[in-house]
C-alpha cells in the first residue's frame, strides 16, 4: 500500500491501448481503493460485449450508456475509474469528470498504441479496411481533447505497469 490517500475519484482517459484498464487496476490496488472499468460496467449491465452493443444498438446508444455509467461512478467514495477511449470526448462527460473527480490522461505515442491494439479484434471502431490508418486519424483528432485533462502522464513504451502506476501516484501526490 501507499501513504498517499485519495480524496477524489481518478478517471483515466486516453486512447485505446494506452493502458487505462491495466494501470487503473494496478493504481487501485496500490492505493487500496475500488476499481471500476466503465466499458466492463456497460457490458455487465447490457449482458453484451461492447462490439455487440455497437452492432445491435449503434454507437450513439453506447455513448448514452457510457455517460450514465460515468456519472454514476463519480458519485460515492473516491475510487479509480478507467474509461473507454471515447468517453472524454463528450463535453458533458468532461464537465462531470472534472467537477466530481480528476481526469488523468495516459499519453502514449501512436506507434505504442498500434503495437498494443493490432492483435486484438475487440474494438468496433478499428474494424475497418485499414485499422492502422483509422487509429492514426482518431489519434490526431483526439489528442487536443485529451490534452484538456487535469493531469497528463507520458507513457513510455518500455515502462512496466508498476513504473507507470508509481508515476501516477507521484503526480497525484
The nearest distance, CB 30 to ligand S3P, in angstroms, is: 20
Residue 152 annotated in ligand binding: no
Among 19, 24, 86, 101, binds ligand S3P (CB under 6 A): 86
Q: Does 104 bind ligand S3P (CB under 6 A)?
A: no
Q: Which residues lie below 8 Å from residue 70, measured CB to CB, with a gap of 6+?
A: 11, 38, 81, 83, 87, 93, 96, 97
The nearest distance, CB 45 to ligand S3P, in angstroms, is: 14
Q: Does 84 bind ligand S3P (CB under 6 A)?
A: yes
Instruction: Return the number of the residue (85 or 101) whose C-beta is nearest ligand S3P.
Output: 85
73 closest CA partner among 12, 142, 123: 12
Residue 56 annotated in ligand binding: no
The nearest distance, CB 154 to ligand S3P, in angstroms, is: 18
Q: Which residue has the cell 483526439?
A: 142
Residues 91 and 145: their CA atoms lie apart, in Å, by: 10
Residues 23 and 15: their CA atoms lie apart, in Å, by: 13
Q: Does 73 bind ligand S3P (CB under 6 A)?
A: no
Among 110, 125, 159, 169, binds ligand S3P (CB under 6 A): 125
Q: Does 146 bind ligand S3P (CB under 6 A)?
A: no
Contact segment (CB under 6 A) with ligand S3P among 28-36, 92-100, 108-116, 120-128 equals 120-128
Among 24, 28, 36, 39, binds ligand S3P (CB under 6 A): 39
The H or E element spanning position 126 is none
- State the number of CA atoms in the 13 A half-sphere of 165 facing the CB: 19
DSSP 12-75: EE--TTS-HHHHHHHHHHHHT--EEEHHHHHHHHHTS-HHHHHHHH-HHHHHHHHHHHHHHHHS
Q: Does 123 bind ligand S3P (CB under 6 A)?
A: yes
Residues 49 and 39: their CA atoms lie apart, in Å, by: 9
Binding site for ligand S3P (CB under 6 A): 16, 20, 39, 50, 84-86, 123-125
User: Would you list which residues are annotated within the binding site for ATP?
Assistant: 17-22, 123
Amino acid at each position: 500500500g501507499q501513504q498517499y490517500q485519495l480524496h477524489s475519484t481518478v478517471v483515466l482517459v486516453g486512447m485505446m491501448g494506452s493502458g487505462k484498464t491495466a494501470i487503473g487496476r494496478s493504481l487501485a490496488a496500490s492505493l487500496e481503493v475500488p476499481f471500476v472499468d466503465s466499458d466492463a460496467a456497460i457490458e455487465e449491465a447490457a449482458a453484451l460485449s461492447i462490439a455487440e452493443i455497437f452492432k445491435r444498438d449503434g454507437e450513439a446508444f453506447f455513448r448514452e450508456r457510457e455517460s450514465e455509467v460515468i456519472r454514476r461512478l463519480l458519485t460515492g467514495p473516491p475510487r479509480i475509474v478507467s474509461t473507454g477511449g471515447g468517453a472524454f470526448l463528450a463535453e458533458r462527460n468532461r464537465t462531470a469528470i472534472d467537477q466530481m473527480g480528476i481526469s488523468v490522461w495516459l499519453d502514449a505515442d501512436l506507434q505504442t498504441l498500434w503495437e498494443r491494439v493490432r492483435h486484438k479484434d475487440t474494438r468496433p471502431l478499428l474494424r475497418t479496411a485499414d485499422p492502422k490508418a483509422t487509429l492514426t486519424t482518431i489519434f490526431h483528432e483526439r489528442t487536443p481533447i485529451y490534452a484538456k485533462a487535469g493531469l497528463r502522464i507520458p507513457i513510455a513504451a518500455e515502462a512496466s505497469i508498476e513504473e507507470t502506476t508509481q508515476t501516477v501516484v507521484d503526480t497525484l501526490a
